[in-house]
Structure 1
Amino acid sequence: MKNPVIATKFGKVKGKVGTDYLGGKYYSFQGIPYAKAPIGNLRFKAPQKLEPWTEEFNATKEGPSCPSSHIFFMTYTGKEDNCLNLNVYIKQLPNSNSSPIPVMVWIHGGCFTTGSNSTDMYNPKFLMTENVIQVIINYRLGIFGFLCLEDENLGVTGNAGLKDQVMALEWVKENISSFGGDPNNVTIYGQSSGAASAHYLMLSPKTKGLFHKVIFQSGSVFSPWARGQRGAEEIMKYLGIKEDNDETILDILQKMSARKLVAAQSKLPELMLAGQHRYFGPIIEKPSEDAFLSEDPSKIIESGNYNKVPMIIGATSNEGIFYDMFKKLRKINLPFDCNMEVPFELNILPKTKSYEHLREKINKFYKLDEEIHNEKQCELKSDNLFIHGIHRTVNYHLNTNSQPIYYYMFSFHGDLNYSKKFATVKSPKSFFTCCYLSASFKHTLLKKTFGKIARNMSFHEISGSCHADDLGYLFDSIISIHVKPNSREDKMIKSMVKLWTNFAKYGNPTPQHLEEENEILWYPVDQKHHHFLDIGDKLIMKMNPFEARNKFWDEMYDMIENRI
């Protein structure tokens, strides 16, 4: 078939044809720029509006990622020129008789420092079995997206990466109708820092009317790793440069190679600890007309002055297993230290009476002194990095958001739980190689052979689903092994896709008019009960996930707040 061409407001784009999970056809338009290249004196600053082009843009191949360390190999990847790009995937070409199609905009995770919109990680072939348009965006990461300087006249006020996301949503608003999409039915969704980004977008005054539903997978603004600081001084130290004048600092950093900046950033001691501030991440800006966010998130939610839209929010059943994967990828070999597990946002100084009291309570509740194995450590990591922040998010929004909030826990364990496999496999490199070869070979026998080797490798036993395990059932990737029809994994892919796309279409993951298709009715939380959907081998409605653990942390926060 001839390559499809669509005329956007910035110019024509040429795409290609793809094949979805069930063998159907869809159309792909990749690497489309949505803002000017953030190079030269635009580095670190808010994105600038794109200029239209006259030649047909070749959108048959992916654009570059933004400069960062590779999410698996930790090597330098990306480039700044045209890194502010997005991919659009549609089920059918638009025509004058077709109704506008719901749109889903994916924001990738990666600790605000790594990741991209590449099909290596986010191939949409599962989601494209449903008639929902998928848009997958890039945004600036690390120092490039979150540098903040005190001198406001320099225009480096922070949150450039989040402002990139706003401009991508503005592009969707202006252009998605050209692809047959409905600009008045847009769902933003993301996982980990992508989920936290979606939450920040929900609270920003800059995003009114740009989206109409949100999905938060394993992250929110109340995750301790979702808050950054003004890290210029620290990065200069690792670059070996002594300078305290903001104008000079900006000049030095804008002239420096992206590769050198990424190398310096990789040396910063960011260890995914609740007691540690992120060096480069979202911040509260000083009030101004251009500020993305200039007030504390909790105060914004309490005021009710934000984008009130239907929500899906949830976590995996054992998020904390991810810390083992994090350490393996970064070759970190540090002993567990309970002193770094007291959330920094509690604002308690180390070695004070309150700090020691809380640390002792944490030790006792999680029985850390009694158990050398990391099961309880994983529970603690799950709670103070992910679970309790999500619990607080639900509670905060229940008070001010009249729209439905659908809560879930992903507990399914299968062959596509790649994050847990990386965290627990005894030979990560061999596992990755076999998965990659299984995905790469077109010959069915070779696919199955390397997939079987990967499945039969030696793994450490630990219960629950890890942080990011849900991604394997929404997106295909370079490490996705062959899925057998009617297998547990096949059924979970179809369940996740149906729930997520139903929400995008109707604002309800199990709408009443599709009662015959629904495996179960997923109903939202209310003031008395946190109803949630346990997404496992069966879909089961339950109440109050992680109840005792969330209650413990609620009491700790109350105790510190009241200084008991």
Structure 2
Amino acid sequence: MLFSTTDLLLLFVLFGAITMTSCSTLAPEITLSHGGKLRGATVKAIFPGQTKSVDHFLGIPFAKPPIKELRFASPEIHEGWKDFLDVVKLPPTCWQYIFSGFDIVNAGARMWVNNTEMSEDCLYLNVWRPSGISNANLPVMVWVYGGGYTTGTSTLEVYNGTYLAAKHDVIVVSMQYRLGAFGFLRINPRGNRFNREPVNSTKLALGNMGLKDQLLALEWVQNEIRNFGGDPNEVTVFGESSGAVSVSALWISPKAKTLFKRAIIQSGSIFARWGLHDLHMANHRAAVFAKACNCPDPLVDPSSSIQCLQKAEPMVLVDKLDAIVNEDAIQRNNTMWKNFFHKLSSTELGAGSFPGWASSSRRYFEVPFGAVIDGDFLPNHPRDLLSSSNHNRESPEIMIGVNENEAIYFILYGLAIDGGIFLKEDGKIVIPESISKAGLREPRDSDGQKADFRWITALEFLDRNYLIPGVASLPAAFYGLPMSLNSKQEYANPSNTKLTGEEIMQRISSLASDADFVCPTLEFAELASRLSGAKIYLYYFKQMSSQLPWPSWVGAMHGYEIPFVFGIPYSSEFTKQFYGFSLMEREFGDKMQQLWVNFAKYGNPNKPVNGQALFNWPLYKSEMDRTKQPDQSDHYILDMNMRPGSRLREKECRFWLHLMGAQQREVTNGASKLLLTRLFHSRKIPLVVHCANCDKSFRQ
């Protein structure tokens, strides 16, 4: 169907688009508690049928620049300034990886690339508010960006707070925080276990510096947001990915108890294996990192190591993070050779470096430095802090959820199978021939070997604790991936004779999504729901943007709910730079924003709008309550047909959170290697599972 120019102009008016233009009114001014003043800017947000003005204040310093002797230090509050400070420019990005290739060419990936220059002097925040509301006492929404603690910045257009502030009368705040070694390097102050007294008295590189940046930004909000027209008693913190890990960590930290009221946790939690590192891992990784930077071993001389790292060029500290991932890959490979590969014949090993078409022992997704239990920000393990006896929040209110295909984004970057590449330099995404052959059970031409996801998932997905006989093959079997379990190269589940490449990718994604995103998030929801007076709202996001330049089989990926939350379907700037949205997607985004804002304002996403009840989102029920009422809805499905759902990924998360751990403990203790089969049988959960050291499969 063709449209005339007049028709197209009419459609543009009907569908609407936000454009932001500078207003001719006087620049908004704010006086802060230290006496210094801010001068921001006012922009117009043009919606269908209405125009609203928004004041933004971009690049407000909230901490001293963490440079020179303050590199690796906890943040210190900014001393302030005299007279006016113009805050109309987005702040610098904290140091991180430099993107290239596919990430620059493909618009759906480029939307995550930093749009300001990088600097260590990066601790700034941004504020958006509706114009003319200096005494309005509005609710406040504070955003924490994600990026695996190695990338990310609050300055991205997808995080532009203009649209939430304009349409929903809230104040939006976002902050920068340090990443990588700058924000999360942990060096044991005692060096090693033989030193009884601290040998690092500088209080540097103790871990969680990036989380403490966020904490200081929240303290700034408490002290200053009234000057912008915000209510410090109605602060909601929301974040995604490592931002969600951060929000969950803030929520359980005693230091943040009085700094915000509600939390929205999107696609992650402090229970994710990549979000929280034990001290042994953190200290070991610090030693690997220091060596890669040509600095002294921090386990021997922490002070000298820190002094050396403080002098290193910022980009060196970014580039050498990869040494941690490489060393982890070596250790994983050594574990697999010790426990499995040394027993295989040359035929079973095949022509490659690894059996079963695996091309690497690097994890598909790894975070070099994460949060740690430092005895300060996190005084104890998060599970202890979240228990009813220790938790410090009364009647907690949390919105929490996950996306349907969380892991597929990272799998396309990180999965190494027979040398196949998913992401092309020209920005296209393809399924390699090796994946298609794996689904069709076709042998590799060179040696006749078939793909074996028992080895691929063990090498590239599983925790090292699971890389033991009787355990390592279970995830691939549970998710129905091709496996060769005897000398004739036959597969564990012959009923699945053929799979398309897309079906293989979906099963791999389900395995990794459940293990690394869904189940850790649901575990946090479960434990929080057991607290007295808790109101937990769980969601499951399934809506892929139709114009996202990725193939439809990737589905609703990690992070791609964010444009709808921030009202980005109305952003003409985002459409111009990246991709657009249909009218239906704009309407869907309106509902998403309303849910998020309702929760931020009232602690209930179902609050009627103009007297009309638009949603029926049920409260999340704890496992005990679900057992009593098995058919009752306990989460909300977010797609074009929003509706309640029940028992979100329950069987899968029972597998990861309970049964894998139980099987690992049993095998380690030398007990029956069929424990998992018995457990699944008692719970009547279907599973195809390989019996260790035998050629049979069991369906329970």
> What corresponds to 1:348 in structure 2?
465
CA distance in 2, matches of 1:217, 1:330: 29
Matched, 1:255 2:311: yes
> What corresponds to 2:38 in structure 1?
13
Matched, 1:86 2:86: no
* CA gap 1:205/1:388 in 2 versus in 1, 3 angstroms: same
Contact (CA 8 Å) 1:367, 1:376: kept in 2 or not?
yes
Contact (CA 8 Å) 1:19, 1:125: kept in 2 or not?
no
Contact (CA 8 Å) 1:70, 1:77: kept in 2 or not?
no
Q: Secondary structure at the match of 2:162?
A: coil
The one-letter amino acid of 2:161's match is: P
Matched, 1:471 2:562: yes
Matched, 1:379 2:465: no
Q: Secondary structure at the match of 1:348?
A: helix
CA distance in 2, matches of 1:407, 1:467: 16
Q: Taking structure 1 as the reference length, what is the TM-score of the superposition?
A: 0.84
Which of 178-187 and 473-482 deviates more? 473-482
> What corresponds to 1:63 in structure 2?
91
Matched, 1:320 2:432: no
The alignment yields a C-alpha RMSD, in angstroms, of: 2.8
Q: Secondary structure at the match of 1:397?
A: helix
Matched, 1:310 2:397: yes
Residue among 248, 265, 272 paired with 1:199:
248
Give CA-to-partner distance per residue, 1:194-250, whole Å, 9 cap, x none.
Answer: 011000001111112100000001010111111232332121232244544111111
Residue among 287, 290, 298 paired with 1:236:
290
> What corresponds to 2:593 in structure 1?
497
Alignment of 1:10-409 (within 5 A): 10=34, 11-20=36-45, 22=47, 23-70=51-98, 72=103, 78-95=117-134, 98-128=135-165, 129-151=167-189, 152-155=200-203, 156-228=205-277, 229-230=282-283, 231-243=285-297, 244-269=300-325, 278-285=367-374, 287=375, 291-302=376-387, 303-308=389-394, 309-327=396-414, 337-340=456-459, 343-344=462-463, 348=465, 350=467, 355-369=468-482, 371=499, 373-409=504-540
CA distance in 1, matches of 2:406, 2:39: 40
Contact (CA 8 Å) 1:198, 1:216: kept in 2 or not?
yes
Contact (CA 8 Å) 1:304, 1:400: kept in 2 or not?
no
Give CA-to-partner distance per residue, 1:72-122, whole Å, 9 cap, x none.
Answer: 458997444541100000012334xx4310000000000011111104331
Which of 241-250 and 174-183 deviates more? 241-250
**Cα distance, 1:381 vs structure 2:** 1.1
> What corresponds to 1:531 in structure 2?
634
Contact (CA 8 Å) 1:202, 1:306: kept in 2 or not?
no
Matched, 1:553 2:649: no
Contact (CA 8 Å) 2:142, 2:174: kept in 1 or not?
yes
CA distance in 2, matches of 1:112, 1:81: 15
Detail structure 1 runs of 4+ shifted over 6 Å in the superposition. Answer: 74-77, 270-277, 328-331, 333-336
Contact (CA 8 Å) 1:224, 1:343: kept in 2 or not?
no
The one-letter amino acid of 2:251's match is: M
Contact (CA 8 Å) 2:114, 2:152: kept in 1 or not?
no
* CA gap 1:554/1:115 in 2 versus in 1, 3 angstroms: closer
CA distance in 2, matches of 1:330, 1:250: 39
The one-letter amino acid of 1:526's match is: K
The one-letter amino acid of 1:348's match is: N
* CA gap 1:35/1:264 in 2 versus in 1, 3 angstroms: same
Q: Secondary structure at the match of 1:176?
A: helix
Task: Point out where structure 2 has 5 or more consecutive residues left out of the alignment.
Answer: 1-24, 105-112, 190-199, 330-360, 415-421, 426-431, 436-452, 483-495, 627-632, 667-674, 676-700
Contact (CA 8 Å) 1:342, 1:359: kept in 2 or not?
no
Contact (CA 8 Å) 2:142, 2:238: kept in 1 or not?
yes
CA distance in 1, matches of 2:144, 2:93: 13
Q: Secondary structure at the match of 1:315?
A: strand
Contact (CA 8 Å) 1:126, 1:497: kept in 2 or not?
no
> What corresponds to 1:481 in structure 2?
579
**Cα distance, 1:187 vs structure 2:** 0.1
Residue among 632, 636, 646 paired with 1:543:
646
The one-letter amino acid of 1:16's match is: A
**Cα distance, 1:296 vs structure 2:** 0.9
The one-letter amino acid of 2:321's match is: Q
Task: Point out where structure 1 has 5 or more consecutive residues left out of the alignment.
Answer: 426-458
The one-letter amino acid of 1:171's match is: W
Q: Would you say how many aligned residue pairs link Structure 1 and Structure 2?
A: 509
The one-letter amino acid of 1:517's match is: Q
Contact (CA 8 Å) 1:76, 1:259: kept in 2 or not?
no
CA distance in 2, matches of 1:7, 1:35: 17
CA distance in 2, matches of 1:506, 1:198: 19
CA distance in 1, matches of 2:558, 2:506: 15
CA distance in 1, matches of 2:367, 2:392: 25
CA distance in 2, matches of 1:398, 1:117: 30
> What corresponds to 1:521 in structure 2?
616
Give CA-to-partner distance per residue, 1:249-277, whole Å, 9 cap, x none.
Answer: 11111111212211222454279987987
* CA gap 1:261/1:184 in 2 versus in 1, 3 angstroms: same
Percent identity of paired positions between Structure 1 and Structure 2:
29
CA distance in 1, matches of 2:460, 2:46: 42
Which of 203-212 and 66-75 deviates more? 66-75
Q: Secondary structure at the match of 2:132?
A: coil
Q: Taking structure 2 as the reference length, what is the TM-score of the superposition?
A: 0.68
**Cα distance, 1:18 vs structure 2:** 2.0
CA distance in 2, matches of 1:472, 1:102: 21
CA distance in 2, matches of 1:493, 1:56: 38
Q: Secondary structure at the match of 1:126?
A: helix
CA distance in 1, matches of 2:247, 2:652: 26
The one-letter amino acid of 1:534's match is: I
Q: Which has the larger radius of gyration?
A: 2
Contact (CA 8 Å) 1:275, 1:340: kept in 2 or not?
no
* CA gap 1:275/1:324 in 2 versus in 1, 3 angstroms: closer
Q: Secondary structure at the match of 1:400?
A: coil
Which of 72-81 and 154-163 deviates more? 72-81
Which of 227-236 and 310-319 deviates more? 227-236
The one-letter amino acid of 1:108's match is: Y
